[in-house]
Amino acid sequence: DAGVIQSPRHEVTEMGQEVTLRCKPISGHDYLFWYRQTMMRGLELLIYFNNNVPIDDSGMPEDRFSAKMPNASFSTLKIQPSEPRDSAVYFCASNAARQGSGNTIYFGEGSWLTVV
Amino acid sequence: AQSVTQPDIHITVSEGASLELRCNYSYGATPYLFWYVQSPGQGLQLLLKYFSGDTLVQGIKGFEAEFKRSQSSFNLRKPSVHWSDAAEYFCAVGASSNYQLIWGAGTKLIIKP
């Protein structure tokens, strides 16, 4: 089982540049989550998808952030333009809504973003 | 309001000593409860979970947790910690009706040699 795969693992970019983070969920999982983790705010849910459809994006901080899930095996989180305060670790996670599995969420290893 | 409280921001224990990390929750429905661990520079890994049944659950790496409904608690324990247990530990609560989790702020575990 490959687990949730995220890329890039680390990115350093200049303020104003576009950043695209990528995620491949675990095969067969029908929920996908994007989280952001910072020292100040801890772990925040940005958006989640069910069967490729965005269900709740209330955690997306502002219009500079957007997320897509064009198919069951791929999602992107885009920041345009990026700002230094976007520096954080961005986690993708997935979950299978099978009876009895509850809502165990499996995390990727994160994309460590630094905006300078 | 739904919330998860981990009252200890960090805890320091000696290697070989026992450990208990506290987690209290406020949740309207029957909760699903989780403990995750995050090693430095890594993602979050599931340690254990409680859905129903026996209130004492066993997890990976020798951890266990006990669900106490009367105290709204789900404390994590380990009888003897190892230096490799140094990490941040997160408690989370969810419901069967949706797939979001409410997260605690985390407890950082420091191991003294």
Query: How confident is the prediction along chain A (116 residues), in pLDDT tens digits per residue?
Result: 679 999 999 999 999 999 999 999 999 998 999 999 998 888 999 999 999 999 999 999 889 999 999 999 999 999 999 999 999 999 999 988 765 555 678 999 999 999 99
Element (H, E) at A92: strand A88-95
Question: Which residues in chain B have Cβ-Cβ distances shorter than 8 Å to A56?
Answer: 100
Question: Which residues in chain B have Cβ-Cβ distances shorter than 8 Å to A98?
Answer: none
Q: How many residues does chain B have?
A: 113
Structure-token match 């290893």, residue found: A109
Q: Distance, in angstroms, between B95 CA and closest chain A CA?
A: 8
CA atoms lying within 13 Å on the CB side of residue A55 = 14
Interface test with A, best of B45, B51, B99 (most A CBs within 10 A): B99
The fourth-level CATH superfamily of domain B3-112 is Immunoglobulins (2.60.40.10)
Distance CA A7, CA B2 (A): 33
> B15 in the Ramachandran plot: left (φ > 0), alpha (ψ -120 to 50) or beta?
beta
Distance CA A24, CA A72 (A): 8
Tokens of A86: 């976007």
Question: Among the residues of A40-110, which ranges form H helices?
Answer: none
Query: Pick from A43, A97, A109: which is nearest to B99 by CB?
Result: A97
End-to-end alpha carbon distance in chain A: 36
pLDDT (tens digit per residue) in B72-113: 999 999 999 999 999 999 999 987 656 678 899 999 999 998
CB contact under 8 A, A105 and B99: yes
> Is the CB of residue A5 less than 8 Å away from at least one CB of chain B?
no
